[in-house]
Amino acid sequence: MTQIAAVGPKPDAREARYEQPSRLTLIWRYLRRNKSLVLGLAIVLALTLFTVIGSLTIDTEKRAYPLAVKPKQPPSAEYPLGTDFFGRDLLAVMVRGIWQTAVIGLIAGAIGTGVGVILGFLSAYYGGAVDTLIRAITEVLLPIPAFLILVIIAGSIDRKSVTIYTMAIIVSLLAWMGPTRVMRAQVLSLKERLFVNVARLSGMSNLEIVFKEILPNMLPFILASFVSGVFAGIFASFGLSVLGLGPLREPLIGNTIWFAQQQAAFFNGWWWWPLWPSLALVLIFVSLTLINVGLDELANPRVRRTE
């Protein structure tokens, strides 16, 4: 025993230098490498702060709706972003619009991903007739450009009854096929892994395996699918809004752009009116893409070194 101990490393000062860094330090180090994730989250944080501080300091309930302020004013000290043709304070419109747009995206992302996870699990885990049915439906629906169908649905609904929530539900109607396919493929590959077999041999029930073994391993994919879903939801609702099919009473970002277009804002020289919502949307889309790239890097470390 003593001989072996003599050969081994001496437990002295070296031990202290190799101390495991704390969790926070590790996260910090990782974030420094994953720049797109950080940048994306930073933009989302900035937009969130904008809406939170904005809705605390401005009366958005009133100023974001018509006839609240002097119309057609360019940006000034009193109206930092200007006012529109209908007498809305564009700062209040942006505060409320970004919030509403985010709500639509979040609902659509949650519904699309949720349905996708459930159908993907059913399809992959049980196989057989269930799998054939779910696959056939998704395969047939996927090539149909969902947006065209959404346009028709939104166009058929009585325009006055559309709210941001109906909008969110319309948008999520055809948002589950992509997630279903991704989740199915993931579950198929995971359920053949060794640890799932071990769990099954050790007597775990199907439900236990799904929730304790497979689901935790899918979290990065579910998260990425959710972010894509939010992106797609905002994208689709924006498309509907600029066709004039949105909830017209609300200061949604897409609606604001549509109204500006309807009133020929550029021709009339009210350049600030469509400009702010466009910039806000660019920021939202870019930040979501950055987050998705960052999550992809987190989930597939192999992508990391391809730069």
Partner 1 sequence: MRLGYLVRRILFLIAVVWVAATIVFFIPRLSARNPIRERFAEIARSTGFAPKDLEQIIAAYEVKFGLNKPLLQQYVEYMGGVLRGDLGPSLTRFPKTVLELIFSALPWTIVLLMLTTLISFALGNLLGALAAWPRSPGFVKGLMAPLMMLQAVPAYLLGLLLIFFIAFRLKLLPMGGAYSQGITPSLTLEFILDAARHQILPAISLILASLGFWALGMRGMGITIQGEDYVNFAEHKGLHPRTIFTQYYVRNALLPQVTGLALAFGSVIVSGVLVEQLYGLPGLGGLLGDAILKNDYFVIYGITLFVILSIAILMFLVDLIYPLLDPRIRYESR
Q: Which residues bind partner 1 (CB under 8 A)?
A: 139-141, 143-145, 147-149, 151-153, 155-158, 231, 235, 238-239, 242-245, 257, 261, 266-267, 271, 274-275, 278, 281-282, 285-286, 288-289, 293, 306
Give the nearest distance from C-beta 178 to partner 1 in angstroms.
12
Nearer to partner 1, 117 or 174 (CB): 174
Query: Are 225 and 115 a contacting pair, CB within 8 Å?
Result: no
C-alpha–C-alpha distance, residues 71 and 260, integer Å:
13
Is 67 within 8 Å of 78 (Cβ atoms)?
Answer: no
CB of 182 to partner 1, least distance (A): 15
Measured from the CB atom, is 145 or 301 closer to partner 1?
A: 145
Nearer CB in complex with partner 1: 17/302: 302
Nearest in space to 296 (alpha carbons), one of 231, 236, 221? 221
CB of 136 to partner 1, least distance (A): 9
Look at the block and give the residue holding tokens 């879903």: 229
Q: Which of 167, 185, 300, 160 is nearest to 236 (CA)?
A: 167
Per DSSP, the residues of 103-169 read HHHHHHHHHHHHHHHHHHHIIIII-HHHHHHHHHHHHHHTTS-HHHHHHHHHHHS-GGG--HHHHHH
For residue 279, the minimal CB distance to partner 1 (Å) is 8
Nearest residue to 131 via CA among 165, 200, 180: 180
**Min CB(146)–partner 1 separation in Å:** 9
Nearer to partner 1, 26 or 142 (CB): 142
Handedness of CA 91, 95, 100, 106 (dihedral sign): positive
Token pair listed for 270: 């009210």
- Separation between Cα atoms, residue 206 and residue 214, nearest integer Å: 10
Nearer to partner 1 (CB atom), residue 130 or residue 137: 137
The residue among 111 and 275 lying less far from partner 1, judged by its C-beta, is 275
Q: Write down the least CB distance from residue 106 to partner 1, Å.
A: 18
Least distance from C-beta 107 to partner 1, angstroms? 20
Measured in whole angstroms, the distance separating CA 81 from the mean position of its chain's CA atoms is 27
Which C-beta is closer to partner 1: that of 158 or that of 192? Answer: 158
